Amino acid sequence: MNENEELLSAEEMSALVPPAPVGDASTPGKRPIVPYNFRRPDRLSKEEIRSLYLLHDLFAHGLSSSLPLFMRAVSEVNLISVDQQSYGDYLKGLADPTSIFTVAAKSLHGVFAVEFGSSIAFPVIDRMLGGEGKGLSSPRAATELELQVLEGFLAVINESYREAWKTHVEFETEIVGRETRPQLLQIIPPNGIVVTIVYQVQIGDAKGLMSICLPVELLEPVIKRATINAYSSGIPTSPEATNSLLKKVSTINFPVTSDLEKVSSAVSDLMSLSVGDVLRTSHSVDRPINICVADSAKFVGRLGSLDGKLVVQITGGYEDHGAAG
C-alpha cells in the first residue's frame, strides 16, 4: 500500500461518523439550552425574594408612620423594587456624588449599606437644621458636618428596620462608615451578590430615592426564617392564646335559619290572614331541609317536634348530602 494513500475516503468517513444534529433545543431526548451567567448567579430563590419584598414593604409602612413625627412634615415611603445583582453593578447604578453609609449588623457579623440620593438627603439635612426642607440648586457632595446630621435621620430608619426584622432576628446596628463617592465604599468584592432594595421617600415637598444594599452572605443565616412558610411554622401558639381566641369567638352570634320549600299565594289570601290561620306547604315532613348559617347552607336536617314546638334536627353536612331542595 502506498504510504500516501488514504485508508478511507472522505465519503466513507462521513458514513461512519454521522453529522451532529442541527436544530432547536426541543428535539426529543435533548435538554434545552439555558443561558447561565457565572458572574451573576441567582443566590436566592423566588420565594426568598418575595419574602424579602413583603418584609421591606412592611418596613416602608412602619417608616411612613414614624417619619412624620420625627421630621414634623407629611412623609411617605414606598417600596419600588427588590432585586439581586452584583455589588459592582449596584455601585455603578448610584449617582456620584451621593450619601452612602456603612451599617454593621453585629449579631449577623456583617455590614450592609444605606444610600440617600441628593434630592432627598439635602432637604432632610435642611429640615434637621431648622430649615424648610429645601434642596440644592446645583449638585455637590455633602460635607462631613452634613453627613453627621444625616446620621441622625439614619438612626430613625435603623430603629424601624430593626423592628421589621424583629420576628426573624434580633440585631443591633451601628454606623461604621460614610462616603460620598460610591466607588470608595467596598463592603464586599465587586463580583459578590447583593440584594438591593429601592424606596421612594417623600418628606414635605421633597422627593427622592433611598436604597439598602444587603450582601447575600449577610442574609443566608436568617433568610430561611424570613420565608413565608418558615414564618408561619416558626411561631408557636400557646394554649392560653388559643383558649383566649376561642373564648372571644364563642361570644359571636350568627343567624341560623331553616327554610321550607317556597309556595305561591294570592295577594287576596295574604291580605285576609290572621292569627291562627294555617298555610299549607308542599314540603313533606319526611323530606330533608337545608339549615343555613349566615345565609350559607351548612347542614341538612329533618323536621320534628320537641315539647310541643316545631324543631329541626341536624342529620349531616350540606356538602355531604347535597342540596335538600
Model pLDDT for residues 50-103, shown as the tens digit of each residue: 989 999 999 999 999 999 989 989 999 999 999 999 999 999 999 999 999 999
* Selected residue with higher pLDDT from 223 and 194: 194
* Selected residue with higher pLDDT from 160 and 309: 160
The owner of cell 416558626 is 234
The per-residue pLDDT for 25 is 47
Average pLDDT over residues 176-181: 94
The per-residue pLDDT for 96 is 92
The per-residue pLDDT for 155 is 92
Fold of 46-233: Chemotaxis protein chec (3.40.1550)
Range of lowest pLDDT (20-29, 76-85, 218-227): 20-29
pLDDT band at 255 (very low <50, low <70, confident <90, very high): confident
Instruction: Calculate the average pLDDT of the chain.
Output: 81
Strand ranges for the chain from DSSP E: 75-86, 99-105, 110-116, 173-179, 193-203, 206-215, 256-258, 289-293, 296-306, 309-317
Whether residue 303 is predicted with pLDDT greater than 70 in this model: the reply is yes
Position 103, amino acid = V
C-beta of residue 204 within 8 angstroms of C-beta of residue 123: yes
pLDDT band at 308 (very low <50, low <70, confident <90, very high): confident
Residue 298 CB contacts under 8 Å (≥ 6 apart), including other chains: 291, 292, 317, 318
Distance of CA 152 to the CA centre of its chain: 29
Average pLDDT over residues 176-193: 93
The per-residue pLDDT for 116 is 97
N-terminal to C-terminal alpha carbon distance within the chain: 99
Fill in the DSSP letter of residue 28.
T
Whether residue 229 is predicted with pLDDT greater than 50 in this model: the reply is no
Average pLDDT over residues 28-40: 53
Average pLDDT over residues 29-47: 62
The per-residue pLDDT for 8 is 57
Closest CA to 189 of 86, 52, 313: 86
Report for 48-57, 243-252, 259-268: range of highest mean pLDDT: 48-57
Spell out the domain ranges in the chain.
46-233, 284-325
Closest CA to 196 of 184, 208, 180, 210: 210
Separation CA 317–CA 298 (nearest Å) = 6
C-beta of residue 187 within 8 angstroms of C-beta of residue 112: yes
Look up the pTM and report it.
Answer: 0.59
